[in-house]
Amino acid sequence: MQTVALGESELRSTRLIYGCMRAFGTWNRDEMTPDRRREAMSAFAAAVEAGYNHFDHADIYGHGECERVFGEFLAGNPGLRDRIIITTKCGIRWAGDGGPTAPHRYDFSPEWIERSCEGSLRRLGVETIDVYLLHRPDVLMNPDEVASVFDRLHASGKVRSFGVSNFTSSQTALLQSRLSRPLVCNQIEVHPLRLSPLEDGTVDDLYRLRITPTSWSPVAGGRLFGAPGDDPKLSQLVRVLDDEAHAHGVSRTAILMAWLLRHPSVILPIYGSRQPDRIRDAVAGEAVQLSRESWYRIYLAARGVALP
């Protein structure tokens, strides 16, 4: 795969990122069997073989087990660590974390960010996280405190670059105004069933600030692969996707990747299947050169209404 710069950093990511959230196929600890662990290892190996050099994690994925099994995968593949980018995220705390009455919440306090970083480093078995993201916006975020802890983590060599996830334009701008180095990415949900980031200024502002948009759930959580039922808008979108896929000789998955990759802001899809054939199949989207007309056919079908 081709590589592109992440924001204004020296890191160069493949145009598709492998998402590790579903590595186990479950978040139930009782179902995290040795067989599922081996399947996760096979998925990671398939991603490496398919050319992905960027792996996306979060401290909460599989309650930490996704990071842990990836650390085992790295340990079993000497030299791989130097060839890949590891992104992970922090800031989400479950109900009961910190006390029986503690609610589900987001926490960007310096203490929690540092504690979370140490935990991720330990589970991943690495000395440095390449890109460290704040997972979901904390309404109580103090940007000066976040800037201070980011500086400490960078100075200590524990984190190379920082980013955010699910941030609005104003939240991104506020945090960036206090930081000593530029944010490199904002991980957002954008796909044909969620067009708002393309229309509300979110992607425009990232493009303007040279912050890379990365797209979580680029296949809409599988909703574009289920039966449309009696939803005429979804049925039309699926028909257009399949028409374009047929015209380009690729799968619906690959066309969805190509649609995101066509945007000039350099949106990077985060694809997270556990099936090796699908991991390889998504990469075919990079080679598809969608015309402006093809891109707009999909966009208009997704909108469900004509342009003004």
Annotation says 61 is catalytic: yes
Backbone angles phi, psi at 199, to 5 degrees: -120, -15
Total count of residues recorded for the chain: 308
Q: What is the DSSP string of 91-113?
A: -EE-TTTTSTTPPSEE---HHHH
d(CA 69, CA 38): 9
Under 8 Å between Cβ of 131 and 162? yes
d(CA 48, CA 42): 10
Under 8 Å between Cβ of 214 and 188? yes
Closest CA to 283 of 250, 239, 242: 250
Residue matched to tokens 């179902």: 31
d(CA 16, CA 178): 30
CA 248 to chain centre: 26
Catalytic residue (choose from 18, 52, 61, 271): 61
DSSP run (H or E) holding 149: helix 143-155
CA 24 to chain centre: 17
DSSP run (H or E) holding 212: strand 212-216
Helix residue spans in 138-183 (DSSP H): 143-155, 169-176
Residue type, 243: D
Active site residues per annotation: 61
